[in-house]
Structure formats: structure tokens, C-alpha cells
Chain A
Amino acid sequence: MSRTPPRRAPSTVAGAAAPLAPLSRDSQLAAEIKGLVASGDRDAARDRYGELVAHQQRRAVRIAYQYLRDAHDADEAVQDAFVKVFTHIISYREDLPFEVWFTRILVNACLDLRKSRARRLRWAVPMSSSSDTPPSDPATPEPTPEQRLVSRERADEITAAVESLPDRQRTVFTLCHVAEQTTAEVSQALGLSEATVRVHLFRAVRKLRRLLDHAS
């Protein structure tokens, strides 16, 4: 299965803020849905929203899964984010890319879920102390051909390395290299300056290189 290589940050002079790309098809669709909701045609808006969900869904689950490392939690976070986007579509600003706005809501949904999960785990009584191994996700199916290309051991090593990154670095790295967003888009999605995003990205890559380069 082919996939597009990660979209690199714009190749401009270091430190210069790159202009955002022209509004995407999904941004135009979001604006159209906003208009339908504003005019009271909620059913038509919902129908059109189904298309938007289909376009953004794959990217959304990749971000959420990378963030939460649990399929059920990622599923829940993505659903919550999409529902929230629709219920707040009236506040969408058409001059901004929809992807940026959606990513911001999705990252917040992931953060909320992780916080709530950590809290519940802290207070939960373990059902059995005899088995320390975490339950496997029953919904995880057979590995894809892509997965087979990267050896299991190497994949585990990479996962551990990414998880060892500080939260901010991991978020920035995920959005740049998994969600394929530019540093300018990530800066808008996270509400950070682009310079800060670049610093986080640089540190993340430096750490990953230190952790992984020995075996590659």
C-alpha cells in the first residue's frame, strides 16, 4: 500500500513564518455546512457533514491513536471531536483551514480523555493482581502489509521512543509527521508560536534519532 511521505514544514528561510495554504475543499464544505445550519436546514447539514467526516476520519484516528495508544479511547475521542465540531459549526471561521480548527478540537478531546483515563486508573481497584499484562485490544485485527514491512521488534522500539517524548514534543511530532501538517498549521492548532513549534519538533527529532539511530 502506498502512502504519501510526511509533508515537511515549508522549505523557507529558518524562522520565517510560512503563509497558510489556500482553503481546502473540506474548509469550503465546512463553510457550506455552517450556512445550512444557520439557515435551519439541519438535516441537509448533517448529510453534508457525513462527507466531511469521511474525508477527515482516517487522519483523525491516526492522530488520536498516536496520542492515546488505545483503539477504544481513540475511537471515543474521534467521535467526541466530530460531534463537537458539528454542534459548534456555527462558530467556525471560514478564513481558517477547517483541518486546523478540527485538529485543535481533536487534540483537546484526546487530552480530556487521557486526563479522565488517568484519573480513573488512579482510583480503580485492580480486578486481579495475578496478571500484570494489560488486556489486549480485541478489536485489533491482523497486521497490514505496511506493518509487516517494519519488523515487530523495530515497531515496538519506535513506539517506545515516541512515547518517551515529552507531551508537547510528541504532539508536535505527531501532527507534523503523522497528520502531515506544516509547522504553521500546527502552531495555529495548538495555539503556540511557530518558533516554539519548530523548537519542539527539532528536539523531538533529535531525541528520536538518539534513541533509534543505533539500530537502524
Chain B
Amino acid sequence: MRAEHLTDDRLIELSTLEAPSATEQRHLSACARCDARRVRLQRLLEDVSDAATAAADAAFPPERLARQQSRILARLLHEGRPARVIAFPAGHTQPEPVAARTRPRSRWIAAAAVAGLVVGVIAGRFGHDYSFSRPARVIVAHTAEQPELRAPGSTGTIREVTASISEDEFLNQLEMAIDSPAAAALQPIDDLTPRAWDVR
């Protein structure tokens, strides 16, 4: 019986995915050429695995693994626990009532300060009432009130941004702005603009 040589693809399947059939096994036993090709492929895969594991093992020697394990367990120790409240130093507690030691003059000063604060808050509320009734938002542009700045066809909507956004959100917004078609028109200007790190 003369079986055909195994194809390269079949050798890959035999080396990684499945065992050879009985016919293939007989052929591999009889055909030195095919068997050598299979051994060569297996050796190559072992080389790749060895190189990968050796690189990782070199980067992570046992002492580094031990440090890593300690850090993981330390992180778990703090996981889900409320923040520690530091107690006020016990040595500063007053043995006698505070009122007994304060002088009448200092009490008047404290009362005046409180009264001033209350008056200031009330006056501020009447003078700048909008600050209490509106949400804290920053208006970036209001094109409806500035028709000369409005682009033809624009709807004149108010664009608002929240005062604080996370770094990831900020980068997301930047990426979306850059990917928009309108940004392509600015490319020539960008090309002309020197980079900060290019300027010496």
C-alpha cells in the first residue's frame, strides 16, 4: 500500500488539534520524510512555547512573584472596608467646661462673627439668587443669541459641559472629536502647527 504524503495543513492539525488516524499513523511510521516534517513542526512549536515561558519567567523571578502576592493580599485587606477615622487626640480634652474659661469679650467677638456670617449668607442669597436655583453648569456657547457667529443651517442649540469629567471621559471626547468629519478640515492647519516638543 502506498499512501500519499501528508499535506502541511494536515501536519499542523496533527500537531495541534487531533491525533492521526490509523492510516496516517501507519504512513508516518513508514514515511521518514513525513515523520521528519512532523517532528520539525512539533519542535518549532516547542521552541515558541519555550521562548514565551522563558521570557515571562525571566521577567518574574520567584521574589517578584512573592512581592506581587503580598501586594494582592494587601489590596484585598483594604477591599470593601470603610475609611479609617482618626480619633481626635485624647490629650487635648478639656478638664473643665469651655464656657467657664472664656472671657465675656471673646464671647462677644464670636457672636459678632456668627451674626456677620448669617447676614452675609442671607445677603448673598438675595443678591445672587440664581446661583441657588440653577444647576452648576458651564455654558460654553449660545449661538442663538449670537446670530453672526452661527453657521448656516445650525439649530442654535446650547452646548453645555459638566464642570468635572473623568480623564477617561475627557480622552473619549477628544477621540470622538478627532474622528468626526469636521476635524479633517483642520488637518492642514494641524500640519502647519509646530509641536511643542519640536521647538528647541
Which residues does A use to contact B, with CB under 8 Å?
A: 3, 5-6, 8-9, 11-14, 46, 49-50, 53-54, 57-58, 61-62, 65-66, 71, 74-75, 78-79, 82-83, 86-87, 119, 123, 125-126, 129, 137, 139-144, 146-147, 149-150, 154-155, 158-159, 161-162, 174, 176-178, 183, 198, 201-202, 205-206, 208-209, 212-213, 216
A126 to chain B, nearest CB (A): 6
Taken together as a complex, chains A and B put the C-alpha atoms of A155 and B55 apart, in Å, by: 9
Taken together as a complex, chains A and B put the C-alpha atoms of A188 and B100 apart, in Å, by: 74
A14-B18, A149-B50, A150-B50 known; 16 other A-B pairs, CB under 8 Å?
A3-B53, A57-B65, A61-B65, A75-B68, A79-B68, A83-B72, A86-B76, A137-B59, A140-B58, A141-B58, A178-B52, A178-B56, A201-B16, A206-B9, A208-B45, A209-B8
Can you pick out 12 interface pairs between chain A and chain B where the beta carbons lie within 8 Å of each other? A6-B46, A9-B17, A46-B76, A65-B59, A123-B171, A123-B174, A141-B61, A142-B58, A146-B57, A177-B49, A177-B52, A201-B16
Q: Which of B36-44, B155-163, B181-189 contacts A (4 or more CB under 8 A)?
A: B36-44
Identify whether the interface residues of B are mostly helix, strand, loop, or mixed. Answer: helix
* 9 cross-chain pairs, A with B, having the tightest CB-CB distances, nearest first: A11-B19, A65-B56, A146-B54, A71-B59, A62-B56, A158-B51, A147-B54, A61-B60, A82-B72
Whether B16 lies near A140 (C-beta < 8 A) is no
Q: Mark B63-89, 1 if CB is under 8 A from A, else 0.
A: 011001101110111011000000000
Whether B72 lies near A202 (C-beta < 8 A) is no
Identify whether the interface residues of A are mostly helix, strand, loop, or mixed. Answer: helix
Chain B: how many interface residues by the 8 Å CB criterion? 48
Whether B72 lies near A71 (C-beta < 8 A) is no
Whether A65 lies near B17 (C-beta < 8 A) is no
Does B12 reach chain A (CB closer than 8 Å)?
yes
Whether B53 lies near A62 (C-beta < 8 A) is yes
Identity of the chain A residue whose Cβ is nearest the Cβ of B71 in the assembled complex: A79
A200 to chain B, nearest CB (A): 11
Taken together as a complex, chains A and B put the C-alpha atoms of A50 and B73 apart, in Å, by: 7
